[in-house]
Structure 1
């Protein structure tokens, strides 16, 4: 259930990503094409854009997996030192999932304030991204990984779920599933998929998704209190 919830959340986070990271995604794709002369000379510019987007998305997902591994390790160590910690961690994850559902549905905007307050601490990282060479494949991976470390309330919620799993592998898999779910947005920036945000941004879709996430949160709380 956690893996499917993580993947679903990744897919449905596209409107949020377009608002918060759309400029970064476009800058990375355009920057990689303008600095790679081989791509510009190619008779398949769309193909090269897709390759760049795949590398950026892979780097982003690897960063998520690393964070998930650390969260799972932290949960494992905490649970093994404090046996009662598992229930508490699950309750926190469930509450965050409910808050995320309210945020996704547009009924509460607290997570946006958290993102904005934390964002200023990541300005040095953003300045470093601008100096990363995007001509090489490892440069694109590094830029994608830096992108994945930017402050995001949705990512924080998934990390809480990974922490509550109390398992290193499960924590990594949760974040990997979330990263896979975000791939359509990354690829759409590269031109593979003309992902339309019209229906995903509609009130009915966001309300439905918010209710689903709230349901997942309530289920997590139920498991914590058993």
Structure 2
């Protein structure tokens, strides 16, 4: 599901960053450019793993009692249905979720400072910050990491999410040319329906626990 969503949403959301840093690598050899790009993307995955750790721990706190966990699962399920719908409609709801105020207030300045540098460490730090950008897709998997109720499972879920997005962003130009917009929209629609179905399943499980 993460891979299918990456073929559309990730390309639209993070494609600009990939194009920007790729332009800086034009003067480097192909091997070195790939290493820089790979470090950037792996650092982004690492940021997701950290978010998964936090989300998993937060979810673990809600497993104190079955009834408490039931409410938690129900409301997270509602959130997933909301996210799935937002991904399909791609209107004001998604714009609200991916609010750029967080970006402009906390991430934009250090991102610009690092973008002006040309070191491997700077590229890694840029990738890490990229992973912290408000994104409906990231919220979806953070919610799933929370539902796992486990720190380890939370890290695994978010790491697998990050790894699943690597092909589309490492080979952005090839995939963008190879896949037409209709196919990308279909992948987005199918994946969003799965997200909504998982949300409904979580709501049902939570409802049973509350009863």
Please give the range of the TM-score, normalised by the shorter of the 2 chains: 0.7 to 0.9
Unaligned runs of 5+ in 1: 1-7
Please report the TM-score for the alignment, with normalisation by the length of structure 2: 0.83
Relative distance call for 1:21 and 1:107 in structure 2 (3 A) is closer
CA contact (8 A) 2:62 2:72 kept: no
CA contact (8 A) 2:84 2:192 kept: yes
Shift of 1:192: 8.6
Distance 1:58 1:83 in 2: 37
Shift of 1:110: 1.3
Distance 2:136 2:177 in 1: 25
Please report the TM-score for the alignment, with normalisation by the length of structure 1: 0.78
Partner of residue 54, structure 1 = 38
CA contact (8 A) 2:87 2:94 kept: no
Structure 1, residues 46-77: CA drift from partner, whole Å, max 9, x if none? x4433222211101110000011011112223
Distance 1:222 1:9 in 2: 23
CA contact (8 A) 2:85 2:192 kept: yes
Whether 1:122 aligns to 2:115 is no
CA contact (8 A) 2:88 2:189 kept: yes
Structure 1, residues 87-120: CA drift from partner, whole Å, max 9, x if none? 222222222222222223338651222213xx12
Distance 2:92 2:167 in 1: 25
CA contact (8 A) 1:71 1:171 kept: yes
Partner of residue 14, structure 2 = 21
RMSD: 2.6
Distance 1:192 1:208 in 2: 19
CA contact (8 A) 2:9 2:188 kept: no
Partner of residue 132, structure 2 = 149
CA contact (8 A) 1:93 1:217 kept: yes
Unaligned runs of 5+ in 2: none
Structure 2 counterpart of 1:97, from 63, 80, 92: 80
Shift of 1:151: 0.8
Between stretches 162-171 and 18-27, larger displacement belongs to 18-27
Which secondary structure does the structure 2 equivalent of 1:201 belong to? helix
